[in-house]
Chain A
Amino acid sequence: MKKVISLILCVILVGSLAACSKQEKPQEPVQSTAAKADTKKVYRILSGSSESSTTYKVLKELAERYKNEVNPDFEFEAEIITSTNDLWQKLNMYITANNVPDIFSISNGLISAELIVRGELVNMTEELQKLGVYDNVNVAMKDFFRSNDGNMYMIPSGFNGEFFVYRTSTFEKYNLTPPATWEEFLNTCQILKDNGEIPYVMRGADSVMYLRFLAFPSWTTEGDSFIKELLAGETSFSESETGQYSAQLLYELGTGGYFIPGYNNLTLSDVVDTFLSGQGTMCYASTAFVGKLSDLYEQGEIGFFTIPQVGGKTANGASIPTHGGKGWGINKKSYDEDPVLQDFFKYFIEHVDEEFFKNGEISWMDTDVPEGQLSKLMNDLGKQMQEQPIAWVSWDDKMQPATLTTAGDAAQELVNDMITPEEFAQKLDEAIKANGG
């Protein structure tokens, strides 16, 4: 019996050693041998946008058109993970196992930085220049997806803008006009509250909106320099004027009693649905919801206003946060070896505008919108969006994941009056120090 036990132990030991040692050497990517072996390759897509989103529809439509019109052998398989956290987890696992999909959602942040260093992302600036369309790409979008070396390594998955929506009848009732500064915004909330109205339908199911409010003041005055300096340790949240202002703003918003009861349960789409069902006076929306909002806009029942400015400080012209969503990245190793993938990309770029207009949205190229194709709301928004000097500066993909989690949790505590603005600033600074960013 001793023999059997020792045999088993040997197997386990050898197994563990073999496994551990394999980890050290970089592995040959699985793709290259497989791609040469079979001609009918199935392209893998990892999408963070749901099947009903414009982003995914555009890609799917163009893939199918490509298959019908150009190359009948073009097959693809999509994996859709709509929860952002889960999406990055899966992508990280693919990267760890050297199993990166061919086309995948990726944002301009830490993961892409790592992939660029490993040479696994196609340089989009070069490719778009080769196709002669680089100059057409919207300025803010180029800015949004610009990585540290100045190039874009992903293309936008759309051209989204965000804005505040308000009920015109309620505003008229109390002689209110859309607020231009944060002081006016808080004032408006107060007046509405005093008159028994629900001022603001807040997205409280997660901390994304809280982080937006924290970021608005610095974005409208300094662009991205604040967050960059903050994460590099050159300034701190507690000691900077901007930091203190932002924390104070979120605190006053949260503790002023301006939020709709039950806001802790509202997700992004819940907010719009709730607002549309007649509750609340103001809310935050994006171009993804233009379909639901456009009729009311045309009838004059709702209006939109852009991000309030910081009173007394010079504005930099940024007023509508625009972003390209999660971008689409292409696996460089697949791309370089595969003329079919390159051809598909060319086809995609040539027709992407058409598909976006078909879906009622504007594309990320500064193409003129054809007359009468989009709704009035999209038209009005679109014009302002195309003129934005800078893109939205997202804190989400710049912070270390652990810092982001801390910031979100602390923001929830701040809004629920569990900590003071000073304590909030301190927590954030400590997290940045501890996590290196």
Chain B
Amino acid sequence: MNSLLGRKKIIAGFLLPGVIVYSISVVIPILWSIWYSFFDWNGYGAKEFCGLSNYLTMLSDKEMWQSVGHTINLSVWQVVLQVGGGLVLAVILSRMVVFKRVFQTLYYLPVIISSVALCQMFKKIFAVMPPGLFNQLLSAIRPEWIHLEWLTNIKTSLGMVIFTTGYKNVAVYMLIFYSALLTVSHSLTEAARIDGAGSWQIFRRITLPHLKPAMIANVILVMNGSLRSYDIPVLLTAGGPVNTSQTQALYMYKQAFTSMKYGYGSALAMFIVFESLLFAILIQLYSVRSKGE
């Protein structure tokens, strides 16, 4: 049996197709990009080798660090909104008595709508000139609120991107948490209830620890996705007034494809990868440590 499982032809047969497709479309292009990051290149002219100078430029590039700040800001909020919000929604869903299935499906709606469509909708809803839906509703409370700017205001454009990103994705994590909630052992909770424990205590002592693995997995997924965030910033605010909602991926795209500094853009992309790796390592350390407890 073991030799059967170890037969090389079989292993290759199972692995190779996936590995080939994955390598050609993901890994090899990344290697190219690393290569490009050591050059000064505008995409069609000559390539000039410049060693680490792109990386050094990065260190003193103010706009780059601003975008890093925005991205981390966005990512932390996404953990709160998507993981935290997802948990809250899952709990609400589990406590519902009517129309559970309907709600579950309809909450998922923003996930199904493409980013392009969602941003087009939101741009119209939050428009100022002529006033969109949101401002029209607000003006019923106070008339001067019809002039409030959401997407083009320096102070709120990042907030709008954060809100929209959370809005779009929270249901994914709600579903994962909900599935996990269903697997909480009933006998355990019943026993606890008979012993006199209140709902909140049951939640804190039994449910939450049970959800811990899912929570960690979700935090990783959310952080990873948010670090690469590009669709919504570019479609909703195009980086915002004076780049206030510009994420790293957006800045990288602008450098590579609009400013035609392809080498520098590749270096910026490598930095994003580096951040993801760093985060992954930190999480690994955390989970190893907590497992040891």
Using CB atoms and an 8 Å cutoff, list the residues of chain A in contact with chain B.
1, 3-4, 8, 11-12, 15-16, 19-20, 23, 85, 88-89, 92-93, 95-96, 114, 204-205, 261-266, 270, 274, 400-402, 405, 409, 412-413, 416, 418
Count chain B residues whose beta carbon lies closer than 8 angstroms to a beta carbon of A.
Answer: 37
Partner of A412, one of B12, B241, B258, B260: B241
User: Do B127 and A265 touch (CB < 8 A)?
Assistant: yes
Say yes or no: A20 contacts B35, CB within 8 Å.
yes
A401 and B259 contacting across the interface, CB-CB below 8 Å:
yes
Q: Which B residue's beta carbon lies closest to that of A264?
A: B152
Tell me the residues in window 1-59 of chain B with beta carbons closer than 8 Å to chain A beta carbons.
6, 8, 11-12, 15-16, 19-20, 23-24, 27-28, 31-32, 35, 43-45, 47
Interface of A is mostly: helix
Note all chain B residues with C-beta closer than 8 A to A89: 257-258
* B residues at A contact (CB < 8 Å): 6, 8, 11-12, 15-16, 19-20, 23-24, 27-28, 31-32, 35, 43-45, 47, 127-129, 147, 149, 151-154, 241-243, 254, 257-261
- The residues of A that contact B24 with a CB separation of less than 8 Å are 15
Question: In the complex the two chains form, is A4's CB within 8 Å of B129's CB?
Answer: no
Would you list 27 pairs from A and B whose C-beta atoms are within 8 A, ordered by A residue? A1-B6, A4-B8, A4-B11, A11-B20, A12-B27, A12-B28, A15-B23, A16-B28, A16-B32, A16-B35, A19-B28, A20-B32, A20-B35, A89-B257, A92-B43, A204-B152, A262-B129, A263-B129, A264-B241, A265-B127, A265-B128, A265-B152, A270-B129, A401-B260, A402-B261, A409-B242, A413-B242
Cα-based distance from A266 to B128 in the complex (angstroms): 9
State the CA gap A92–B259 with chains docked (Å): 11
Once A and B bind, how many residue pairs between them come within 8 Å at the CB atom?
83
- Say yes or no: A12 contacts B11, CB within 8 Å: no
Chain B interface, DSSP helix/strand/loop, else mixed: helix
Q: Which residues of B contact A418 (CB under 8 A)?
A: 242
Given A262-B129, A274-B129, A412-B241: A8 and B258 interface contact (C-beta under 8 Å): no
Whole-angstrom CA separation of A1 from B5 in the bound complex: 12
A274 CB contacts on chain B under 8 angstroms? 129
Contact of B28 among A3, A15, A23, A96 (CB under 8 A): A15
* Bound CA span A114–B28, Å: 29
B243, A409: Cβ atoms closer than 8 Å: yes
> Please, which residues of chain A bring their CB within 8 A of the CB of B11?
1, 4
Residue of B nearest to A413 (CB): B242
**Contact A19 to B259, CB < 8 A, known contacts A262-B147, A412-B242:** no
